[in-house]
Amino acid sequence: MRSFFPIAAVVSAALLFSSCRPFSRQSGGEDLPPKVERLIPDEGDGSRRDAEAVSLEQRVNSLLSQVRVPMSPDDYLLNVLNENLDIDQLDEQIVVFKKKNDPEDRIRLLVADFDNVRNSYVVSWQGETQGTNNRSFNVEIMDLLGDHILEILCFGRNNRGEQTLDVFRKTPSPQGFGVYYSPIASIASQGSIVVEERPRSEAYLLLQKNDESFPLAVYDKDPDSENINDLRKTTHYWSYQDGRYKAGKTEKLAGQGRVEKRLADLFSRDAEGFESFLSGPWYRTRGAGKAGPGEIIHFDPQNRRIVFYNGEIQEIFLWQTSYRTIYKGLYINCVNEAIGNITKQLSVSVTGLDEFDLVLKGGEGWEGQYKRLGKDLQAATLASRGDGVRLSTLELSGLYRNENGVEVYFTPPRFTMRENGREFSGGFALYSFDGEIMEMKILKENGIVDSTRTYRLLFQEERQGNRILRNLTLQPARVTGRGVEIRTSGGPPLRLQQITEPEG
């Protein structure tokens, strides 16, 4: 699961399987949790959670229970991610860890891949990054080079306080087995490092051809200027001949010659001063998604929480660390309050006394420009709220199958699935949001979530004589605050059918 979508909060609240407890149906199981009647979280309600109060021992034990390969007693686990890195039937696992006896305290990665011969997961690759700060480390999976192969990007900070980026590209394994990676970029900067993503062509999205690679931009203070707002931008480009990113052109970016005094005072503050400036609710005015106060971010530095609210539900993150960027902004690292291995990194760039631009790593659908939300606009937003997300009225039960041997047996809220000779089970939810959506959580034997599948669902029922034919089409999808996106990279739709005949 690459990221935690805002809609998942509704599904998790509506179903017991989100907390990995035993399955049971409560009376009145179709009811949604009470609606949130405030845009801003209540203060002093006794439910505050401090990020530092989360037990470190519990988190490490939870991570250990998820790892699919043996770890050394000298390994200190930081995170575990399940990702499909090579588009096969089984997910690989990325384990983020440190060596307790490492004098440089570097953050490392390993990839666990499934070995069909040994019928178990084995370590296929290990790598080292420049990052040392546990809380500011973020792993992102994306096709950086435009060749339909996923790279591993590691954003972090080193012990000199520099922003770091390490990129690893999938290459042939020396052992001839498993997923293997080689480093293709290693950048450190006192300023900011940005992946300059650009829209990919329709032919690329349809897997018909490759597309251009994304450049890496590094912003530093201009050493030849006395104006603190003047920057130097160095762009790194992918070199196929060298097999890595290489620094290209360098350009000077002139900052404002004169800045309003209050903004100048803000830009001279430390991270804590910037946190104080951000405190309170902000609504998005520009970017993909809703215009106006439909999507809100509330910063609560006192209680170390950040709330993402999209007009229907809210998602809460624990505010871990903040770092000043070189230019008018702040890097913020936060972790999901409910699922500790889901992290986000926010890059905030202040453009005025009541507005900022946001870039987000580890999540989608929230980038854009934001303005401060006043009390009058809060009241108007509450008055105009709609019904939002709701549970689906569709009921699925019994066996569905297709001619390729795929079978799914639904016993709400659980399912059992067989495909490609493998059987697994878990819980599922049906809800309506920009169409009918099915979310399936696949569980391990110990009840921990192994992976999540999200589908746009189409259901048709017809009669042929005495028989009833129920056709189910599941299109891989991604749900964000702005709606449902069909995932062409997730493969073709899964078509299943159930045939029932009268008894006797």
Residue 56 domain flag: no
Residues 408 and 394: their CA atoms lie apart, in Å, by 16
For residues 455 and 495, membership in a common domain is answered with yes
**C-alpha 78, offset from chain centre:** 17
For residues 241 and 317, membership in a common domain is answered with no
User: What is the residue range of 483's domain?
Assistant: 390-500
Residue 6: HSE in the Cβ half-sphere, 13 Å Cα cutoff: 24
Residue type, 48: R
Write the pLDDT tens digit of every residue in 8-53.
444 343 333 333 333 332 333 333 333 333 343 433 444 444 444 4
Residue 49 domain flag: no
Number of residues that this document lists for the chain:
504
Show contacts of 56-61: CB within 8 Å, 24+ apart.
59/340
For residues 276 and 254, membership in a common domain is answered with no
Write the pLDDT tens digit of every residue in 329-375.
788 888 887 776 677 888 888 877 788 888 877 556 688 888 888 65
For residues 254 and 230, membership in a common domain is answered with yes
Helix (H) or strand (E) holding 62: helix 56-66
For residues 303 and 154, membership in a common domain is answered with no
Beta strands in 310-406 (DSSP E): 314-324, 329-336, 343-352, 355-361, 368-372, 390-391, 398-401
- pLDDT, residue 65, reads 81
Final residue belonging to a domain, choices 365, 383, 401: 383
Residues 413 and 10: their CA atoms lie apart, in Å, by 15
Write the pLDDT tens digit of every residue in 274-313.
888 888 888 888 765 444 446 788 899 888 889 888 766 6
Sheet bearing 231-239, strands edge to edge: 192-195, 216-221, 231-239, 244-253
Q: Between residues 374 and 191, which one has the greater pLDDT?
A: 191
Best CA proximity match to 114, nearest among 81, 97, 89: 89
Residue 455 has pLDDT above 70, yes or no: yes
Best CA proximity match to 70, nearest among 127, 126, 121: 121
Q: Between residues 30 and 420, which one has the greater pLDDT?
A: 420
Rg over alpha carbons for the chain, rounded to the nearest Å, is 24
Residues 437 and 415: their CA atoms lie apart, in Å, by 16
Out of 281-285, 321-325, 353-357, 441-445, least confident range: 321-325
Q: Between residues 450 and 380, which one has the greater pLDDT?
A: 450
Residues 443 and 452: their CA atoms lie apart, in Å, by 9
Q: Which two tokens stand for residue 171?
A: 């290459």
Residue 60 has pLDDT above 60, yes or no: yes
Q: What do you get for the CA distance between the two ends of the chain, in Å?
A: 46
- pLDDT, residue 162, reads 87
For residues 217 and 108, membership in a common domain is answered with yes
- pLDDT, residue 17, reads 36
CATH number of the structural domain spanning residue 295: 2.40.128
Residues 337 and 318: their CA atoms lie apart, in Å, by 6
For residues 79 and 221, membership in a common domain is answered with yes
Final residue belonging to a domain, choices 352, 383, 414: 383
Angle among Cα 461, 465, 469 to the nearest 5 degrees reads 25
Q: Is 243 helix (H, G, I), strand (E, B) or coil?
A: coil
3-state SS string over 226-242?
Answer: CCCCCEEEEEEEEECCC
Residue type, 63: L
- pLDDT, residue 245, reads 96
Beta strands in 190-295 (DSSP E): 192-195, 216-221, 231-239, 244-253, 280-286
For residues 167 and 308, membership in a common domain is answered with no
Residue 3 domain flag: no
pLDDT tier at 449, thresholds 50, 70, 90: confident
With beta carbons less than 8 A apart as the criterion, state whether 366 and 297 touch.
yes
Residue 332 domain flag: yes
- pLDDT, residue 326, reads 62
Residue 441 domain flag: yes
For residues 182 and 270, membership in a common domain is answered with no
Residue 488 domain flag: yes
For residues 397 and 375, membership in a common domain is answered with no
Residue 409 domain flag: yes
Final residue belonging to a domain, choices 221, 240, 258: 258
- pLDDT, residue 56, reads 56
Residue 420 domain flag: yes
Region label for 282, one of left (φ > 0), alpha (ψ between -120 and 50) or beta (otherwise): beta
Number of domains in the chain: 3
Helix (H) or strand (E) holding 92: strand 92-99
For residues 360 and 394, membership in a common domain is answered with no
Sheet bearing 92-99, strands edge to edge: 75-83, 92-99, 108-115, 120-128
Residues 436 and 428: their CA atoms lie apart, in Å, by 13
For residues 428 and 374, membership in a common domain is answered with no
pLDDT tier at 213, thresholds 50, 70, 90: very high
Could you give phi then psi for residue 390, rounded to 5 degrees? -145, 155
